[in-house]
Amino acid sequence: MTGQNADCAPDSGPREECGIVGVYGSSNAADLAYLGLYALQHRGQESAGIVASDGRSIQSKKGLGLLSEAISPFELDDLPGHVAVGHVRYSTTGSGRVQNIQPLVIEYSGGIVAVAHNGNLTNARCLRQAYEARGSIFQTSTDSEVFVHLLADPQHANAQDPLRHALNAVKGAYALIILQADRLTAVRDPYGFRPLVLGRRADGYVVASESCALDLLEAELVREVEPGEIIRIGPEGLRSISLGRAPRHARCVFEYLYFARPDSVVFGEVVHNVRLRLGAALARTWPVEADSVIAIPDSGNSAALGYARESGIPFDIGFVRNHYVGRTFITPAEEKRVSSVKIKLNVIRDAVRGKRLVVVDDSIVRGTTCRERIANLRRAGAREIHLRISAPPITHPCYYGIDFQHADELIAASKSVEDIRDFLGVDSLGYQTIEGMVESVAGDGDGYCLACFAGDYPVMAEQGIGKHALESSR
Ligand code: SF4
C-alpha cells in the first residue's frame, strides 16, 4: 500500500484526544499501566484498555467509561507480564463503540500486536478505502485501525523494518505505543504534534503521553520521544532509530493551553510555567482596573495566577469545580455540554458579588459554555466582568486530533471579537495575541502548530488539501 491520494479531503470520521502509556521490564507491568492511565484520565474518559504480555501470551481488558469503571483493579491479576500498554480515550458522537476501545489487538503472520494511538491521521480514510477495496475487513470506525492493517500488509510486513516501512504510508498526527510479545515500541510522528515522553524506572522503562504519569510510576523523566523517532525496548535494551524528518516540527500548542495537566512536562517545559507566562502576557496586552482575578478552573488556574501577579490585582477563587463529572469540552453532544455547565462549576457568591472581575479562561471554542458561566457570575452579582482568554481566537478546524473539526463550530470563525463579547455578555474581552502565545511557550516559540489560530496547516498544505481546509472554514 502506498501513500495517500492527494485528492482526499480531510477525514470526517472520529477525532480523538487520548492518553497512552507503556511499561517495559516491571513484573507488574499492567498494574503500573493502570496507575499511569489514572494520571492520564484527563485526556479521555469514555473508555480505557490495557494489554499485557509475559513474552508468550498477550491478554487484554477493556471497557467503556472512566478507568475505574472500565477495568476493575481486581482484573489486573488477569494481565500478567512485564510488558503492558494502556489507553484512555475520548471519542466524538457515535464513535463510542466497544470495538473502538484501544489498544487495538490483532493477530497476523508476524504475531500478535497491540496498538495504542493518540492523534489523528489525515489520510486514514484514503488508506482504509484502499484496503477495503482489496477485501480487508475493518473492525472499528477509528482511524487508528489503519496502523494494524498496514503492519499486516505483506508489502510492509516483508520489508526489512516493517514498522518503519508501514509508517511511511501514514500522514498526520500520531503518538504510538506498540506491544509485541517481548517488546515495546514508541513512535512520534515526524512533526511531533502529540506529546510522548520516555521515563526510566529501576526495573525498566515507561513511555507516556505526559510526564505526570511517570511521577505516579516513580519513573524518572529521561526525555521526550523526539519527533520522527522510533524507540524500541526489548530484552537487549533500548534502541532509537529515525523514522524520518519533517520539513518542520508542529507541536500542538493546545497541549499547553488546555489539554495537558499543569504538573506535566510537555515539549520540554512544565505546563504550569507556560500558563503563568500566558497569563502574564494577557495582563500586559489587556490591562484593566478590577478588584480580583478569577479563573475558570482547572485549565485557567495557572494563567489567572500569571495575570494576577503581572497586574498586581489579587487572585481569588470564584468557581469551584466538581471533579467527578467529565470535561465539558470533550463531552460528545452539544446538549450535554450546555446542561452540564452548572453541574461542573459552582460560583462562590461572596467572592464575586459587587466585584469588578477579571475572568481568565483557556480558550473559547463554541462560546456556549462560556456564555453560561458568565451568566452564572452575573446572577451571583458580579458588577463588571472582563474576560481574558489565554488562546488567540480559534478560527480554523483542527485535523490532528482535537475535537473541533468544523469551522461552523467555532465562534471566532464567523464573529468579530466585539460580536463575541456581546454574545458572551461581558464588559470587555481580550484574547491572547499569536505573538503573546508564541513568546510564552517553550524554547524560541518555533516548531509549534498554530493551524487553528492562523490556518497554516503543516500537513494539509504540504499535501494540497490545506486549501480545502481553509475554504471550508470560511
Ligand atoms: S490545529 Fe490547533 S489544536 Fe490542532 S494540532 Fe494544531 S495547535 Fe493543536
Q: Which residue has the higher pLDDT, 373 or 92?
A: 373
Q: Which amino acid is at 15?
A: R
pLDDT of residue 407: 87
When pLDDT is averaged across residues 100-127 and rounded to a whole number, the result is: 93
Structure confidence at residue 322 as a pLDDT band (50, 70, 90)? confident
Q: How far is CA 292 from CA 25, 287, 313, 361, 401, in A?
A: 50, 13, 6, 14, 36
Q: Which residue has the higher pLDDT, 290 or 142?
A: 290
pLDDT of residue 466: 36
Report residue 462: phi and psi, to 5°: -65, -30
What is the residue whose three cell numbers read 484526544?
Answer: 17
pLDDT of residue 460: 67
DSSP secondary structure string for all residues of 226-273: PTTEEEEEETTEEEEEE----SS--EETHIIIIIS-TTSEETTEEHHH
User: Does ligand 1 come within 6 angstroms of the Cβ of 404?
Assistant: no
When pLDDT is averaged across residues 100-119 and rounded to a whole number, the result is: 93
Residue 394: CB atoms within 10 A of its CB come to 25
For the cut 80, the answer to whether the pLDDT of residue 469 exceeds it is no
When pLDDT is averaged across residues 320-347 and rounded to a whole number, the result is: 65
What is the residue whose three cell numbers read 484527563?
Answer: 42
Mean pLDDT lowest for which of 43-57, 92-106, 192-206, 440-454? Answer: 92-106
User: Does ligand 1 come within 6 angstroms of the Cβ of 441?
Assistant: no
For the cut 60, the answer to whether the pLDDT of residue 417 exceeds it is yes
pLDDT of residue 96: 63
User: Does ligand 1 come within 6 angstroms of the Cβ of 457?
Assistant: no
pLDDT of residue 330: 46
- From the list 388, 404, 369, the residue with the least C-alpha distance to 436 is 388
Q: Which residues are catalytic?
A: 18
**% of the chain residues with pLDDT over 90:** 78
For the cut 80, the answer to whether the pLDDT of residue 338 exceeds it is no
Structure confidence at residue 321 as a pLDDT band (50, 70, 90)? confident
pLDDT of residue 110: 86
For the cut 70, the answer to whether the pLDDT of residue 285 exceeds it is yes
pTM of the entire predicted model: 0.90
CA atoms within 13 A on the CB side of 464: 5
When pLDDT is averaged across residues 85-99 and rounded to a whole number, the result is: 76
Give residue 10 CA to ligand 1 midpoint distance, Å.
14
Q: How far is CA 218 from CA 79, 184, 222, 278, 398, in A?
A: 21, 19, 12, 30, 34
For the cut 50, the answer to whether the pLDDT of residue 468 exceeds it is no
Cell (9 digits) for 330? 470533550
For the cut 60, the answer to whether the pLDDT of residue 22 exceeds it is yes
DSSP secondary structure string for all residues of 319-366: EEE-TTS--GGG-S-HHHHHHHHHHHEEE-HHHHTT-EEEEEES--SS
- From the list 18, 22, 50, the residue with the least C-alpha distance to 183 is 22
Q: Are the beta carbons of 15 and 41 closer than 8 angstroms?
A: no
pLDDT of residue 95: 58
Nearest CA to ligand 1 atom 2: 452
* Average pLDDT value over all residues in the chain: 89
User: Does ligand 1 come within 6 angstroms of the Cβ of 398?
Assistant: yes
Beta bridge partners of 293: 315, 358
Q: Which atom of ligand 1 is nearest to the CA of 397?
A: 1
pLDDT of residue 339: 53
- What domains can be seen in the chain, in order of their start residue? 18-246 (3.60.20.10), 255-472 (3.40.50.2020)
Instruction: Classify residue 442 as left (phi > 0), alpha (psi -120 to 50) or beta.
Output: beta
Give residue 284 CA to ligand 1 midpoint distance, Å.
25
Cis peptide before 103 (omega within 30 of 0): yes
Q: Are the beta carbons of 22 and 84 closer than 8 angstroms?
A: yes
Q: Which atom of ligand 1 is nearest to the CA of 451?
A: 1
When pLDDT is averaged across residues 101-110 and rounded to a whole number, the result is: 92
Give residue 202 CA to ligand 1 midpoint distance, Å.
36
When pLDDT is averaged across residues 132-138 and rounded to a whole number, the result is: 92
Structure confidence at residue 98 as a pLDDT band (50, 70, 90)? confident
Structure confidence at residue 454 as a pLDDT band (50, 70, 90)? very high
Torsion sign (Cα): 124, 445, 389, 320: positive
pLDDT of residue 13: 31
pLDDT of residue 19: 97
pLDDT digits (tens, 9 = 90+) for 441-453: 977 767 999 999 9
Q: In whole angstroms, what separates CA 312 from the centre of its chain?
A: 33
Report residue 376: phi and psi, to 5°: -65, -35
Q: What span, in angstroms and rounded, lies between the C-alpha atoms of 356 and 372?
A: 18
Give residue 303 CA to ligand 1 midpoint distance, Å.
19
Please, what's the largest Cα pairwise distance for the chain?
A: 71
User: Does ligand 1 come within 6 angstroms of the Cβ of 174?
Assistant: no
Structure confidence at residue 325 as a pLDDT band (50, 70, 90)? low
pLDDT digits (tens, 9 = 90+) for 215-245: 999 999 999 999 999 999 999 999 999 998 9
Cell (9 digits) for 391? 488562546
pLDDT digits (tens, 9 = 90+) for 24-67: 999 999 999 999 999 999 999 889 999 999 999 999 999 999 99
